[in-house]
A and B are shown apart, each in its own frame.
Chain A
Amino acid sequence: MSELFTIFISMALVNNFILVKFLGLCPFFGVSKKLGSALSMSAAVTFVMVAASAATWLINNYILIPFGVEYMNIVMYILIIASLVQIIELFIRRTNFALYNVFGIYLALITTNCAVLGITLINTNEAFSFIESMVAALGAGVGFTLVLAIMSGIRERLELADSPKAMKGLPIAFITATMLGLAFSGFGGIV
């Protein structure tokens, strides 16, 4: 149990996907201007990360490893993630249209989000068990959500702030990310 907790904290805070591992930066700089859309986006990413970790774990351990074709994992994982996202999108559209309206549009973007492929590759490299992969994916998703939410709040203020002309927009967002990254590096000692 404590091992699972360690994995969770390590993924969410110490090795934060956005600030430390630089995974999923496109939504971080792209959609993070409004808190509402940032939360919907990160909910969708978290959900897909957990589902993709489960699917790729099963494929890796029951197909790729027994047949000795682990080197095919990049191609396989991308195909699994792409088809999984399609299935989830179809399923949500049929069963819960309100939910589809909230994060359906983000689902299509998630296929090429490096955070999703990243977590599946990390699970494989670390040789996590099924439960450990789930917890790692959930932790990574929570860390992603946390940073996206903090950043969207800051960027709403930044829009109105009187920053130097050359700094407006993307550069100041990078500098803000530096500060956030420094703050998060304070978590370094806890695991």
Chain B
Amino acid sequence: MAGFVREFTKGIVISNPIFILALGLCPALAVSNTIDNALGMSVGVIFVLLGANIIISLIRKSVPNIVRIPTFVVIIASFVTIVSLVFQAYVPALHESLGIYLPLIAVNCIILGRAEAFASKNPVTASIADALGISVGFALALLLIAFLREILGTGGLEVAGTSLFTLPVLSEHPLALFVLSPGAFLVIGLLLALFRRIGAIKHE
């Protein structure tokens, strides 16, 4: 149990995929414009990473070394197809707004990276803990970026169509830069610098 907890917490802080490893940046930048998109993407990544890690960990001893990468890729792509079809059926609006970034989970380096570095070498329970930790770490980072971008860019916060709050001055004069694409680079760059400044990230 202690091992499970250790693998889980590792992904959230020590090897946070976005802020520490700088992996999976494409979705982090592209779908962090609103909290809704970030939530949808996080659910997709958690499902795909969990499913792929479980299956890969189960079959790790029967996959010949030389074809392991293609095997992993096909397993990951199959889970992405499932997520894509489920989203299309039940939350079509979200599927529409995530666009090509949902299928692109298939080539997200975080997922293939965990399959190769962890699930192909470890038993199922540890792989589940690893998948949950890494994907929750990814989700938290994505939500933090989306939270800042949506508040600064629109002056309020809206989850699933209901407005949570609006800020008095900012909602009349929102900083539209933050919901546009350059705003994503700006927010991540400043957050990275902030984390380094307060010592959360060690210098290389």
Contacts and interface: CB of A to CB of B under 8 A. Distances in A.
Contact of A185 (B81, B107, B108, B182): B182
Interface residues of A, number: 43
Given A20-B181, A166-B196, A185-B180, A74 B186 contact: no
Interface in B156-204: 177, 180-186, 188-190, 192-194, 196-197, 203-204
Residue from A20, A79, A169, A171 with most neighbouring chain B CB atoms (10 Å): A171
A172 B189 contact: yes
Contacts of B123: none
A112 B115 CA distance: 14
B93 interface: no
B26 A166 contact: no
A161 interface: no
A84 interface: no
A182 B81 contact: no
B81 A72 contact: yes
A178 B77 contact: no
Interface stretch (A23-31, A35-43, A97-105): A23-31
A150 interface: no
Interface residues of B, number: 41
B182 A178 contact: yes
B58 interface: no
Interface in A154-174: 164-174
A21 B104 CA distance: 12
B100 interface: yes
A18 B77 CA distance: 23
Residue from A24, A113, A117, A172 with most neighbouring chain B CB atoms (10 Å): A117
Interface in B36-74: 70, 73-74
Judged by DSSP, the binding face of B is helix
A26 B182 CA distance: 17
B106 A74 contact: yes
A177 B43 CA distance: 28
B182 A114 contact: no
A174 B188 contact: yes
A12 to B, nearest CB: 16
Residue from A20, A23, A166 with most neighbouring chain B CB atoms (10 Å): A166
Interface in B71-104: 73-74, 77-78, 80-81, 84-85, 99-100, 103-104
B140 interface: no
Given A112-B107, A117-B103, A26 B25 contact: yes
A75 B192 contact: no
A55 interface: no
Given A25-B25, A172-B189, A181-B181, A113 B77 contact: no
B29 interface: yes
29 contacts: A20-B181, A22-B181, A22-B184, A29-B25, A71-B84, A71-B85, A74-B103, A78-B73, A78-B106, A82-B73, A112-B107, A112-B112, A113-B107, A114-B26, A117-B104, A117-B107, A122-B100, A165-B196, A167-B193, A171-B193, A174-B185, A175-B189, A178-B185, A179-B182, A181-B180, A181-B182, A181-B185, A182-B182, A185-B181
Given A171-B192, A178-B183, 19 more contacts: A22-B26, A25-B25, A26-B109, A29-B22, A73-B103, A74-B81, A75-B81, A78-B74, A79-B74, A113-B107, A114-B26, A118-B100, A118-B104, A165-B203, A168-B203, A174-B189, A177-B182, A185-B181, A185-B182
